[in-house]
Structure 1
Amino acid sequence: MSSAELTSAQAERIRRIRRSGAYVLLGVASAVFLLPFLWMVTTSLKSDEANLAFPPQWLPDSFHWENYERGWSGSLPFTTFLMNTIMITALSMLGNLVSCVLPAYAFARMRTRAAGVMFAALLATMMIPREITLVPKFILFSKLGWVDTYLPLVVPEFFGVALYIFLLRQFFTTIPQELIDAARIDGASELRILWKVMLPLSKPALAAICLFSFVGNWNQYLEPSIYLRTTGKFVLPQGLAMFTDQYVNQYNQMMAVALVSMTPIVVLFFLAQKTFIRGVTLTGMAGR
């Protein structure tokens, strides 16, 4: 075997060792991150006695599927909380898409100094902590009589989110200008170009925005706790907090309800995983 072939074989062996080491590290890291989830699953299937056993046991002696029914159908109306969460999340996702697509298209295709200044001002709003705006927003919505309604949770979503506008703008810049010029030559208006050309080509970015919006609104706890006062209007995170207060030692039922609440997020992510990753990747490449 020549020295060149030997060197090539050694280099290939080194690459395999590095690749194997990377897989081992990723496997260990994945196991560490999955441990809390596995603990939730096993705890949700334990009996009341095993739930309080010390030292804690990882695997239940027998599977108690009734914990899911007992936790969900107890004294708290979790079905009502679920329907409220679905309604708020769906309206918020719609508001995010409607309000972010138009400014993102304008920022992507406008070539003026004013557009650059406005885009910089938009990005600057992302540096403002959310907590700073809580008091002014509460004063405004209380004067409008919106407290204990869903309006403070839904209406602001129709006025744009800086992060989503930025992501969509970055994706729009990857679409060739020639397609837009051809549509303009054919007599298409800007709204028609946006609807017929840009949006069909931007499905990955739109899917990423929908996923971000879904997760953010589904898990939202702070603002619903500020504005919603009637139990029948509560959302799932508030219901879980109430469950924790009422059933301090019922960890098995608590974990069961928490797993049911997080199931839509997990299912949606796995269904839209490829599209979501593609949208985020192409959005990041646009900034280079």
Structure 2
Amino acid sequence: MSSVPFVTLNNGVKMPQLGFGVWQVPDEQATVAVGQALEAGYRSIDTAALYRNEEGTGKALAASGLPREELFVTTKLGNGDHGYDSALRAFDASLANLALDYVDLYLIHWPMPLDDNYVDTWKAFEKIYAEGRAKAIGVSNFKPAHLRRLLEETEVVPAINQIELHPNFPQAESRAFHSAHDIVTEAWSPLGQGKELLQDPELARVAAKHGVSPAQAVLRWHLQLGNVVIPKSVTPARIKENIDVFGFDLDDTDMETLGGLDNGTRLGGDPDNVNSR
């Protein structure tokens, strides 16, 4: 096992704080990349129906030979499957694709507020959770207003909200809301996208101070904030580098420097407007 620490979700389930994401990784390539990640020490794997690589991910999990209880598997509901009955059918399909009896975490991928169906969808998630087929349930890309409706109209508090989060877009309001309601913050695109963030001179200075790469410095920033992170790579060297972030600590000045890179740049869609199927 690797040295990755765990966070405890609001239902007592323990989740590795650093995992491996497979967004934009083709199905066959996902089998290879997830296999390499597991060899490197990752035990948390994050996929989604929308990624169309659940089957390849499942093949890598099976081929690893690792005990199921050592693995933490997350998948997400596709946008076209909102609604109580649709969500239940979609979950069954995801389990079949992954060749698993249960997942550790199941997320609503986007709230799709224009459809206004995420409350009924969440009630299906509550049923899945009650049956033990998902050890924890949560959401992704939900803003505080969306979360507030779930808290007011349903029974189970989401265990996690997976949102776009990186030094250029640190999401302070959402993190504060999560903290106040015992919801773990998970960061997708934790390193941003492209090279703009990783070539920032201030970040380069912090990284050089600790003898690490800019990506490692950013991941360490996330971990010290308490975020769960799921960096993605298909390059073996980077897969290994991204999990090698537990041998150093950023000091308060470093954390302030990286926090000061906030420029409000959202790279993905605004959850209020994303309604694609």
Q: Which has the higher helix share?
A: 1
TM over 0.5: same fold? no
Name the TM-score class by shorter chain.
under 0.3
TM-score, normalized by length of structure 2?
Answer: 0.22
Q: Which has the higher strand share?
A: 2
Relative to the length of structure 1, the TM-score reads 0.22
Q: More relative contact order in 1 or in 2 (CA 8 Å, sep 6+)?
A: 1
Q: Which has the larger radius of gyration?
A: 1
